[in-house]
Structure 1
């Protein structure tokens, strides 16, 4: 017998009991005595027994696994959401399989397929920026497997979702910039198949409209919202000679790129150009000056997403009736949007 390849039959043979008794002991069956359970667990440890989750799932119909698909796990927002999901999942005795799509449509499809093959009991996902077709998620629904989306969602799927009020967050940022005297506010956005970017653009537009400031399409820059994209977008605006007095980016990373370019070109922040992002990534509080941003309530979002998932899994909610939970964002005002250093500390607007 190779190390790590022990089966319940090996344990049964060593203890001179049946394989079914070993299986029940490992699953804490009430009919098995505590003494037998202790013997089985001790022998399982000695033999380096590893349970076959897929085989167990086939027998019981439950794998106790949740597949979580995120665009990338190295962002504070997504890692914090996963932490919130795990907090709830662990309470239910579930483990989380985390998969990254890297914003790649094909990888997202393959990831969902792999999770289905692993017999997960359900999937929680945030859609990649480059995803424009959703057949892979429809396949999950067609199989009757619970699917919950968070943050990045789409109107093309009738599923339960947990989001923040992206429209409100963007409106608050834009209105704050206007009240600081800004009238030429550049907006960085991304492909509009993803709801969050469409809603943030709408919040930006409505704030301008409500304050009688004309919308100028030349101030809109669309990209994948990475740091390098923010640099390119900022260079495009400057090279075209477009007048601006602020940048509101739907991504903290892209606004960081804009800050780099503005500093390289000799612009003073916030005296000449104010900067605001979205996401409250940790680095935004350490830049010079610190960047105004919107907090997305990542850990509460993860917990509520997991709670929604288990309500579907346990039949407390009808999987065919989508449930949408909208969390309220918080605007965190920092020095990147405070002229003349009027404030010496962060201001949070709930």
Structure 2
């Protein structure tokens, strides 16, 4: 019948053997001889047999599938992490299912439930901006599935986490601006309910304190990771009686918005105002001027998260690990003054 799937019983009938023998051969059971395995695989290919991986997953209680949940798969950072994860887990015979929360907790909960229903081996997740309760993730742990958080993490769960040192990335960025002669540094913060943005804010404050510079509340603004929002906020900043002479942004996209507005309004970068972003998105190196930014090491983070996951799912390490990767500030034209010393008349 057209569209009918070949079963192991049909393979067994063609080879005059039992379905259990065929099943063991297809699963590379050591009790089955190599000669029999070759015959079974050859007949399976001839008949167009496709294994029912979902049924096998239900029998085993888990599969060779890993669920990945990210806020957006089309952001360069998250796509780099996904690539790192996938390259690493494929070496161990795993495949991935990718879900997007679109920064919504309801979507994240639905994604977790769908992946658990699919009997995944576990989940690697970066939390949505709205996530502040964790019952859906506690359920993953309760079902004895491996759970690894990356980038956006929480201390509320007893599980492994992989992130970069956001505090150090921010501290290095602001210190770099100060060392290049900037003294009035504005901060584009993300949502401080999210762990990474809290840490970047801490780093910003610490750098100002350590260099004996004041914290100016008007210079601290929560800005979504968005070019147009970056423009709007920069316009407000530059209308202040005392204008900032530098901007450290928690996002390359809002830094891009700031850059575009400043250039359109005849500000010189970096002479009049310096800019440092966060993420090291590819566009930062192709703008004029090029934009300094903190490299989040997405692919390395993905590979590390995958390694931590595999250690736990395969029983090689039952201890939960907290891995902090070292950030790297990529210094470009936007934050290095071409002429720091100016004559004041």
TM-score range (shorter-chain normalised) is over 0.9
Residue ranges of structure 2 left out of the alignment (5+ in a row): 341-345
Report the counterpart of residue 288 of structure 1 in structure 2.
288
Tell me how far apart the structure 2 counterparts of residues 242 and 49 of structure 1 sit (CA, whole Å): 73
Contact 2:152/2:194 (8 A) holds in 1: yes
Distance 1:208 1:4 in 2: 69
Runs (5+) with no aligned partner, structure 1: 343-350
The TM-score with structure 2 as length reference comes to 0.92
Q: CA deviation digits over 1:43-86, x for unaligned, max 9?
A: 33343332222211222333111111111122222122222212
Q: Which moved more, 1:307-316 or 1:121-130?
A: 307-316
Distance 1:72 1:206 in 2: 31
The aligned residue for residue 346 of structure 1 is none
Aligned positions of 1:1-350 closer than 5 A: 1-3=1-3, 5-240=5-240, 243-318=243-318, 322-340=320-338
C-alpha spacing 1:181/1:38, structure 2 compared with 1 (3 Å): same
Q: Which runs of 4+ in 1 moved over 6 A?
A: none
Q: How far is 1:125 from its partner?
A: 0.6
Structure 2 CA distance, aligned partners of 1:339 and 1:4? 70
Aligned mates of 1:316, 1:46 — CA distance in 2: 39
Distance in 2, matches of 1:229 and 1:322, equals 38
Query: Contact (CA 8 Å) 2:223, 2:254: kept in 1 or not?
Result: no
Superposed CA deviations along residues 73-109 of structure 1, whole A, max 9, x for unmatched, are 2222212222221232112111111111122221111
Other structure's SS at 2:155 match = coil
> What's the CA shift for 1:121?
0.8
**CA shift in 2, pair 1:212/1:157, >3 Å:** same
Report how far residue 251 of structure 1 moved: 1.0
CA apart distance, 1:4: 6.6
Instruction: Deviation per CA, 1:139-180: give whole Å up to 9, x if none.
Output: 111222111111111222222101111111100000001111
Count of residues in Structure 1 that have an aligned counterpart in Structure 2: 340
Alignment correspondent of 1:345: none
Whether the aligned pair in 2 keeps the contact of 1:86 and 1:96 (CA below 8 Å) is yes
1:258 and 1:163 mapped to 2: Cα distance?
A: 27
Going from structure 1 to structure 2, the CA distance change for 1:292 and 1:9 (only over 3 Å counts) comes to same
Tell me the CA shift for residue 196 of structure 1.
0.8
Q: In the TM superposition, what whole-angstrom CA distance separates every residue of 1:192-246 from its partner, at most 9, and x where no partner exists?
A: 2221110000000000011111111211111331223322322332355551111
Question: Matched residue of 1:168: which SS?
Answer: helix
Say whether the 8 Å CA contact 1:86–1:95 is kept in structure 2.
yes
Q: Take 2:232 and 2:43, find their aligned partners in 1: how far apart are those partners?
A: 61
Any conservation in 2 of the 1:335–1:341 contact (CA below 8 Å)?
Answer: no
Q: Aligned-residue CA RMSD in angstroms?
A: 1.9
User: How much does 1:136 deviate?
Assistant: 1.3
